[in-house]
Structure 1
Amino acid sequence: MYEVLGSPTSRAFRVIWLLEELGQPYKVNKAAPQSEDVLALNPSGKIPVLKDGDEIVTDSTAIMTYLADKHGALTFPAGTIERAHQDALTNCILDEIDSVLWIATRHNFTLPEEQRVPEIRHPAKWEFGRNVDRLMKRCKGPFLMGDTFTIPDIILCHCGTWAKSAKFPSDNEDLKAYLKRCRARDAYQKLTSG
């Protein structure tokens, strides 16, 4: 059985959702960043952390890639052109959506108060909106890779939820419809329906 360390309200949600999609057994240790449990496995203190027996994997995207490859689902095979396109979308979302949200979040409450630059939220919101518009033009169907739901869909949907809670509104209608499709999936519903 897999063990996921990290709060389901963090990027650990991505890993938990993927495990639900895969139908794999897991347990969640709601360990906080920098907690003893996390620091014992990841010197950076960051979550999520995955325990697979005696093996440890860190970083939500690395964990998801490992699990998807291991179970042969939610990803295209390594070495295929489809996988190259999938990985390009994953990296685009991490660089242009996730990182913008993370920078704004850090300057809102994560950094020490004397290091925060609250004014960064305004250009970050502009950049987020621009990047969402560009990304949605790459969407090939109901999901980013067409009919196949893959790792970048989980990341983008998670970022869409994060953006809403961070008050990063997007009036992109394609994104709204896309998020609705992703959130309608059984695994997502199981995790969020209370």
Structure 2
Amino acid sequence: MYKVIGFPRTRTIRVIWLLEELGEPYELDLAPPRSGAVTAVSPDGKLPVLIDGETAIPDSVAICTYLADRHGKCTFPAGTLERARQDSFTQFAVDVLDGALWTAAKNAFVHPEDIRVPAIKDVCRMEFARGLETLEARLGDGPFVMGDTFTVPDIIIGHCSGWAVTAKFDLPGEGPLYAYFKRLRDRPAYRTMKAKLAEAT
């Protein structure tokens, strides 16, 4: 059984969501960022961390990629053109959407108050909005970013859409992206993940 060290309202959501999609059993060890339980296995103290046997794997994207590859679900095989396209969406989600949200968060409550730059949040909102425009152009007609196949970048993008609501970033109220985000939230694994994290706290 996998062990996930993490906490709700963090990127732990991505890992739990994927494990539910995969149908794999796991144990959730609740620990806040930079707590002793986290720094003992990951020096930077960031969440989540996956424990597989004696190995600790930090970083949500690395964890999700590993789990999807290991179980052969929610991904295309490495070395294929489909996987290259999938990885392109993953990198886009991390660089553009997650990047804008994380920079805003660091300057809202993560960094010490005396070094925060509150005005940068306006730049982050602009970058996020542009990212949504790019996502809509790339989405095409499929239900997911890779067409009919639900993959890891859908989880990362879906998490970012929820994070955007919390951060008060604008999301579309109609149209293709609105429908796409709703499809992600309607997935049974997503609903189970939300329920389990709510119950855990």
User: Shorter-chain TM-score: what band?
Assistant: over 0.9
| Superposed CA RMSD | 1.1
Q: Which residue of 2 aligns with 1:191?
A: 193
Distance 1:69 1:53 in 2: 17
How many equivalent pairs are there?
Answer: 194
Counterpart for residue 13 of structure 1 = 13
Distance of 1:67 and 1:8 partners within structure 2: 20
Once residues 36 and 194 of structure 2 are traced to their aligned partners in structure 1, the CA distance between those partners, rounded to angstroms, is: 28
Of 118-127 and 85-94, more deviation after overlay is shown by 118-127
Give the drift of 1:173: 2.7
4+ runs deviating over 6 angstroms: none
Match of 1:180 among 177, 182, 189: 182
Name the counterpart of 1:159: 160
The one-letter amino acid paired with 1:3 is: K
Whether the 8 Å contact between 1:96 and 1:131 is mirrored in structure 2 is yes
Which residue matches 1:65?
65
Hey, what does 2:105 align to over in structure 1? 105
Equivalent residue, structure 2, for 1:143 = 144
Aligned to 1:78: 78
- Structure 2: give runs of 5+ residues left out of the alignment: none
* Cα deviation, residue 131, structure 1: 1.0
The residue matched to 1:51 in structure 2 has which SS?
Answer: strand
Q: Among the aligned pairs, what percent are the same residue?
A: 52
Secondary structure class of the residue paired with 2:184: helix
Structure 1 unpaired stretches of 5+: none
1:26 is aligned to 26
CA-CA distance at 1:8 after TM superposition: 2.5
TM-score scaled to structure 1, two decimals?
Answer: 0.97
Q: Which has the higher contact order (CA 8 A, sep 6+)?
A: 2
Question: What's the counterpart of residue 129 of structure 2?
Answer: 129
Offset at residue 174 of structure 1 (A): 2.0
